[in-house]
Structure 1
């Protein structure tokens, strides 16, 4: 599975369970750790856990074994590492506090224009 296909699978899994403010960021030109970061908000800790589980299960069904899942004990921020795609699922409070979009220099205008397609480089300026 290509990184772009894995990114789309992750987005679809998040949208299937009504993840909020799903944002995809192409970080391939900024780090060697991963190609894509997908960020989503859950409406509660339980919702965050459910979203993370859905991403993991859809990846496994597609033949991709998650490299790790971190943070599911407290569930304010759960990270699902799929190798070429890292999925961050957070409560609204955690997402506002950590502001990953700012960390990766995604502006409000870019966020509004993000259609989460693999050809979209949300981090380009």
Structure 2
């Protein structure tokens, strides 16, 4: 597997001298963690020009409440271990939709039914004719 920055999971992440991860390195850490957790339908959107909230938005699905919670817990540990600090989290109590704000990368972990209802990929797609970048 190769991520958007061209790295493989074995080469992620690198820290800057200040200890903080660069946005591309943080994205690679997030994608590697999601792949490790068997998250489904991983979509990565570059939103730097569309929003000041973050540079990247990642949208994934888990198979059940339990899987969504496990993906979120694993991701939070991996972000902290990689030097990304403590991310802000919402929705862990119900695990229908968990929002993780890691600074330059915002991650949405959904149950499939909830993801289909909100359809964030369509809302944040670069333009109407393009499709989101599906990470395989």
Q: What is the TM-score of this pair, normalised by structure 1?
A: 0.85
The answer for the alignment partner of 2:9 in structure 1 is: none
The 1:108/1:96 distance shift into structure 2, 3 A limit, reads farther
Any idea what SS the aligned residue of 2:30 has? helix
Matched, 1:16 2:16: no
Moved over 6 A (4+): none
Residue 53 of structure 2: aligned partner: 33
Q: Judge conservation of contact 2:69–2:95 (CA < 8 Å) in 1.
A: yes
Unaligned runs of 5+ in 1: 117-125
Q: Which of 1 and 2 has higher RCO (CA within 8 Å, sep 6+)?
A: 1
C-alpha displacement of 1:17: 1.1
Residue in structure 2 matching 1:98, options 100, 118, 126: 118
Structure 2 CA distance for partners of 1:82 and 1:29, relative to 1, 3 Å = same
1:55 offset after TM fit, Å? Answer: 0.9
RMSD over aligned Cα, in angstroms?
1.8
**Hey, which of these two has a bigger chunk of helix by percent?**
1
Q: Please state whether the residue corresponding to 1:86 is helix, strand or coil.
A: strand
Measure the CA separation in 2 of the matches of 1:71 and 1:99.
Answer: 17
- TM-score normalised by length of structure 2: 0.79
State the secondary structure of the residue aligned to 2:98.
Answer: strand
Is there any run of 5+ residues in structure 2 with no aligned partner, and where?
Answer: 1-20
For the pair 1:3 / 2:23, whether they are aligned, the reply is: yes
Aligned length: 115
Is contact 1:66-1:80 (8 Å) kept? no
The structure having more radius of gyration, on CA atoms, is: 2
